[in-house]
Copies of this chain bind each other. A is one copy, B any other.
């Protein structure tokens, strides 16, 4: 019983992840654990907020009757109500519980919405640089990825996006703060995007993947994509904001401005069920009914960013100083980034190998969902 051809090909394409680990392990063995710093995975270093942990202890102890059993597939009604309330406050649109489907994190939410809109051969636009898992999510549901480059500051260009849209374009994945660039998309840019999309007869769905929304620095606030772009689905996760990456809890929310949202909500509920998620973990849903707004100490992440960026600048790197998220996206000093990583490995001045994202870029911290 051999594995399917399709997944064998994907494994081959994804093998740089394995090579990165293998190289890191090799270097640690060669030079000692203490001499190799592993920046490869976006696993929260900190513990969840005190409110989250206290709520978890209480929910786990109080024993709500049937609290561990099935609930309606989109989630406990009062949890969905709490999230709708949060979204009304933050986005300023009339979200109801029916717009919200609790999911096993943002990766689940992305797969659920993609399954709901994609027929084979339909297209999804990705803005480079993008989270390396998106192409797999799109491929799961028969979709085709269309990559649109961003400008030198990693900001999307509306004209380029417009030029990439075809009759098969069903969605655009927006990710702000962006992984891996750390760029927060300005409100004006989102407004321009909306102007362009609103002129189309069948505008694609904006899939706003927002796991890093709370992790922004220097007093920034992330512009609410759903407030600025009419046809939006929000994919949210508490993995980063509450350091719960292993627990798989988040939500998918459809904008009340989506004309066919009840039909889309039915499709998402069905996709969430039949993809095998069935529902988001019950216990964590109940925790989030009370702790949805809790957040880790963002100042600590900002401090780490400052230390890392200062060190890299001193070493002579040209650094895209991240405005949010917890990764740093560097410019490689020589055009071939893979060759440069090889040089670094020989010099013994950096840990692990790095992946090629696109020529002229170096990307040391990737793939927060892939261990």
With A7-B115, A7-B267, A278-B107 as known contacts, state yes or no: A69 contacts B43, CB within 8 Å: yes
Residue of B nearest to A107 (CB): B276
Q: Identify which of B73, B231, B284 contacts A1 (C-beta below 8 A).
A: B231
A34 to B39, CA, bound (A): 60
A179 to chain B, nearest CB (A): 15
A266 within 8 A of B: yes
Q: Give Cα A259–Cα B72 distance, bound, in whole angstroms.
A: 41
- Cα(A43)–Cα(B282), bound, Å: 13
| Bound Cα distance from A123 to B63, whole angstroms | 44
Q: A47 — which chain B residues lie within 8 A by C-beta?
A: 63, 65-66, 68
B5/A119 in contact, CB under 8 A: yes
Q: Is the CB of A278 within 8 A of B48?
A: no
CB distance from A115 to the nearest CB of B (A): 6
**CA separation between A72 and B247, bound complex, in Å?**
13
Partner of A48, one of B68, B73, B116: B68
A136 within 8 A of B: yes
CB distance from A134 to the nearest CB of B (A): 10
Q: Which chain B residue has the least Cβ–Cβ distance from A3?
A: B267
The interface stretch among A8-16, A304-312, A358-366 is A8-16
Q: Which residues of B contact A289 (CB under 8 A)?
A: none
Identify which of B57, B68, B276 contacts A247 (C-beta below 8 A): B68
**A11, A57, A73, most chain B CB atoms within 10 A:** A11
**Residue among A120, A245, A259 with the most chain B CB within 10 A?**
A245
B275 touches A4 (CB 8 A): no
* Contacting residue for A246 out of B258, B274, B279, CB 8 A: B279
The complex places the Cα of A170 from the Cα of B5 at a distance, in Å, of: 12
Distance between A109 CB and nearest chain B CB, rounded to angstroms: 8
What are some 7 contacts across the A-B interface (CB < 8 A)?
A2-B263, A4-B267, A41-B70, A60-B61, A61-B61, A107-B277, A248-B281
- A residues with a Cβ closer than 8 A to B are 1-8, 10-11, 14, 41, 43-44, 47-48, 53, 56-57, 60-61, 63, 65-73, 104-105, 107-112, 115-120, 122, 133, 136-137, 140, 142, 170, 202-205, 231, 243-248, 258-260, 263-264, 266-267, 270-271, 273-284, 369-371
Known: A3-B263, A41-B70, A273-B369. 9 other contacts (CB 8 A): A43-B69, A57-B57, A68-B243, A70-B371, A104-B248, A133-B274, A246-B281, A275-B276, A277-B277
10 closest A-B pairs by CB = A246-B282, A111-B276, A60-B60, A136-B274, A107-B276, A3-B267, A108-B276, A43-B70, A4-B119, A70-B245
